[in-house]
Amino acid sequence: MRTGLKGYKNLGAWTRCLVLALGGAVALSSCGISYNSPKVSERNGELPVSVVGMTARSVAYANASPYTPRALPDVFYAYAGSQGSVTGAGALPAAPYLPDETRRQMEYRPLPDINPQPYRIGVGDVVLLATRSSASTIEQLSGLLAAQNQRQGYTVRDDGSIAIPEIGAVQLSGLTLQEAEDRLFQALVSNQIDPSFSLEVAEFRSKKVAVGGAVKSATLVPITPNNLTLGEALIAAGGLVTRDEEFASIRIYRDGTLYQIPVETFRAQPQLSDKLLIAGDAVYVDTTYDLDRAFEFYKTKIDVISLRSSARSTALQTLSSEINIRRSALDERRALFNAREQLGAEKRDYVYLSGEVAKQNRFALPYGQQATLADVLYNEGGFDNTTGDPTEIYVLRGSNDPAKIGEIVAYHLNAGNAANMILATKFEMRPNDVIFIEEQPITKWGRALQQTFPTLLNSATSAL
């Protein structure tokens, strides 16, 4: 006893403090003073908790619980060309139909059938007049004959007539080939000229169809007496150039209406290639709906084909004004929704993060799609594995069954093996899920010592 007391007296002051501190720790522990860290227990008070290991089977079971992500308002799927009443600049004359373009099955708006019509000569066409040189009156007709059989081309002028030497102007615009021959016959006879001739259209310039968009080469395709089909127009433009045909469509703009044929439907129904086109049609192969691009194409179509002088400018200004008004209305409604969401006035679904995560926070589940455990963890910065235990990651999910209210399932992910993080990319989150990560054992000990050491030190100092 004397030797032990002497040894105790020979201990340094700091060592004696430490011994007393450790003794104080035991004393404090016996008094119920200790560090408590959160953890997942099989039972917590009256709430029954079932811990289930996260495996491929349990992930499939958890994902089977019904949940439909909230959808954005319709205004985020609308575009400036949508239908509806328009205020401001006034409604467009015969406004084109602009179908909804979202990633779903495309609407089929068939092009109406039309009856084949005989070709009518128009302004810009070049007609070829063939005459015989055996009669002296032929020289009076052409003025340029030097061979036995002469062929002379005449361009239909802006006033719809052709000018023949010694005869004058003959109106041909709007006439079929047979009607034009009859009118020429009467003009020759009335001028006492041998009416032996033949007439044909050498160049078709008055009636055209514009083809653009996802084709090899945008072009203007003339309409001939043989008529022009949709398939022939696309071939003349080099054919379709589309990578994802399920999102591609053939749109035909005709007389203020936009018709739509999905490319998949066009491939599946060969008879659609035989649809007849008429003068002024515009064919546009679209892969994704782009209002500005489509507007530029229709603007060019209107410039080249439809309107003249001031009428053309007025129509384009009206169309541009209407699109700007609609676009401004959409922007205003979207901005209002964003403001309401920032103020918390829009209902959202949340997942909560606790424990050793980068930040105690809540994560808003995205609109229109599922979010996984990996999405939530890494979107919020993940966790620090120096303090968080990767072997103790839990997703706590309450029961939606009123008969089992209060029951909790804790899906346990052991990410000590990094390969198991693949399961986190498959595990779908549900509203009100809680993601919890426990502390490292050394972290618990360090924090407990950090909090109790000042008290123990004071106790030891007082004892000394």
Q: Above 80 in pLDDT, residue 24?
A: no
pLDDT of residue 143 exceeding 50: no
Percent of the chain clearing pLDDT 70 (strictly above): 70
- Do the beta carbons of residue 231 and residue 252 sit within 8 Å? no
Residue 424 has pLDDT above 80, yes or no: yes
Q: What is the mean pLDDT of residues 6-29?
A: 50
pLDDT tens digit string along 52-63? 999 999 999 999
Contacts of 173 (CB under 8 A, 6+ apart): 121, 122, 123, 156, 159, 160, 161
The mean pLDDT of 370-389, rounded to a whole number, is 85
> Taking the model in full, what pTM does it have?
0.43
Average pLDDT, the chain: 77
Strands 126-132 vs 197-203: parallel, antiparallel or unpaired: antiparallel
Query: pLDDT tier at 147 (50, 70, 90 boundaries)?
Result: very low
- Which residue type occupies 302? I
CATH class of 43-70+348-445: alpha beta
pLDDT higher than threshold 90 for residue 436: yes
| Mean pLDDT in residue range 321-334 | 85
Whether 4 shows a pLDDT value over 50: the answer reads no
pLDDT of the residue at 38? 76
* Rounded Cα–Cα distance for residues 167 and 190 (Å): 9
CA distance 260 to 251: 4
The stretch 401-415 carries a mean pLDDT of 81
For tokens 């804790």, what's the residue? 410
> What residues does CATH 3.30.1950.10 cover in the chain?
126-203
442: confidence class by pLDDT, cuts 50, 70, 90 = confident
CATH code, residues 79-116+207-334? 3.10.560.10
**Residue 288: pLDDT band by 50, 70, 90 thresholds?**
low
CATH 3.10.560.10 intervals, the chain = 43-70+348-445, 79-116+207-334
The mean per-residue pLDDT over the stretch 175-194 comes to 86
Domain 126-203 sits in CATH at 3.30.1950.10
- Whether the pLDDT of residue 19 is over 60: the answer is no
pLDDT at 230: 93
pLDDT score recorded for residue 83: 46
Q: Is the pLDDT reported for residue 134 higher than 80? A: no
Do the Cβ atoms of 218 and 309 come closer than 8 Å?
A: no
Going by pLDDT thresholds of 50, 70 and 90, the confidence category of residue 306 is low
pLDDT at res. 102: 47
pLDDT reading at 78 higher than 50: yes
State the pLDDT confidence band at 89, using cuts at 50, 70 and 90: very low
pLDDT at residue 275 tops 50: yes
Residue 91, pLDDT score? 41
Residue of 231, 437, 288 whose CA lies nearest to 354: 437
pLDDT over 70 at 353, yes or no: yes
pLDDT at 29 over 80: no
Query: What's the mean pLDDT in 259-287?
Result: 90
Residue 225 in this model has a pLDDT that exceeds 50: yes
Q: Is the pLDDT of residue 370 over 50?
A: yes
For helices 441-463 and 13-30, give the axis angle rounded to 10 degrees: 110
pLDDT at residue 344, as a whole number: 81
Report pLDDT for 104: 56
Picking from 435, 422, 394, the residue whose alpha carbon sits closest to that of residue 52 is 394
Q: Which residue has the higher pLDDT, 361 or 150?
A: 361
Mean pLDDT of 431-443: 88
Choose among 408, 382, 385: nearest CA to 397.
408
User: Which of the four pLDDT bands, split at 50, 70 and 90, describes residue 428?
Assistant: very high
Contact (CB, 8 A) for 389 and 415: no
Higher-confidence residue of 321 and 30: namely 321
Confidence band for 100, pLDDT divided at 50, 70 and 90? very low
| 21 pLDDT above the threshold of 70 | no
Q: Note the pLDDT of residue 82.
A: 44
Block residue for tokens 């015969």: 94
